[in-house]
Amino acid sequence: MLHNRTLLSILACSSVLAVGCAYQPAKEASHTSPSPTAVAAAEVGTSHYAVINFRPGTKDLSREEQSKIRELAAVAERQGKVAEFKVLAWSDKEYPAEGAKVASADSKLADDRANAIENFLEKDVNTSADVDTHNMAKRPNILSEMVKSDDYEVKTTFEATGAAPTTKQTLKSLLPGAKASKAIILVRYQ
């Protein structure tokens, strides 16, 4: 009888130990949320885009950024017939808050950056697709808002998703979604 009780005790202890050793706390599922830029790109109808960086105060494309543009164009050509490239270019400041005054130098810098990318796509990459530029240093004007133009749609989509934080969202401007001194090239297919 003592032998059976000892055996039973050993089995009970080993069961507790086995269960205790097998237990692992549940881990949180590892997932990453898509970036605001990826969300905005999807909302305007594409999954292919590139973020281009500029040195502050310049419109010149570095070799690294030229390589990004070439790579984007090559990937786009393999995916299908490219209808257009949309270029969203910022100055060295974030997207202006509603009602904010924009310095003409900021607007010109954003235009110059968009034009540099457009020229690179047309002359160096030899794209036959349309290149549509958007100056992200300026908000859409009232007419653009009334007719819900493409410029209005793109800018409001990027602002609403957080992919174009405004100058008033200073805390957000410090986050990875900040776009000052950048441009985004979106690919739209036919």
Residue 62, classed as helix, strand or coil, is: coil
Is 158 domain-assigned?
yes
Is 96 domain-assigned?
yes
Is 40 domain-assigned?
yes
Of 2 and 110, more confident:
110
Is 1 domain-assigned?
no
Is 11 domain-assigned?
no
Summary mean pLDDT of the chain:
81
Q: How confident is the model at residue 177 (pLDDT cuts 50, 70, 90)?
A: low
- Is the pLDDT confidence value at 162 over 60? yes
Domain with 91 in it: what CATH number? 3.30.1330.60
- Is the pLDDT confidence value at 121 over 70? yes
**Rounded to an integer, what distance in angstroms lies between the CA atom of residue 185 and that of residue 165?**
17
Q: Which of 75, 78, 72, 81 is nearest to 117 (CA)?
A: 72
Specify the pLDDT at position 34.
82
Tally of domains within the chain? 1
Q: Which residues contact 138 (CB under 8 A, 6 or more apart)?
A: 96, 102, 107, 110
Specify the pLDDT at position 24.
35
What integer is the mean pLDDT of 97-126?
94
Specify the pLDDT at position 5.
47
Q: How confident is the model at residue 23 (pLDDT cuts 50, 70, 90)?
A: very low
**Rounded to an integer, what distance in angstroms lies between the CA atom of residue 28 and that of residue 16?**
26
What integer is the mean pLDDT of 73-80?
92
- Is the pLDDT confidence value at 13 over 60? no
**Is the separation of the CB atoms in 92 and 107 below 8 Å?**
no
- Is the pLDDT confidence value at 144 over 90? no
List 53's β-bridge partners, or say none.
182
**Is the separation of the CB atoms in 95 and 165 below 8 Å?**
yes
Is 185 domain-assigned?
yes
Specify the pLDDT at position 145.
85
Q: How confident is the model at residue 47 (pLDDT cuts 50, 70, 90)?
A: confident
Is 69 domain-assigned?
yes
DSSP alpha helix (H) spans, 23-62: 36-43
Number of H helices, E strands in the chain: 7, 4
Alpha-carbon Rg for the chain in angstroms: 26
Is 20 domain-assigned?
no
Identify the sign of the CA torsion 112, 113, 115, 120: positive
Please give the residue range of the domain that contains residue 148: 36-189
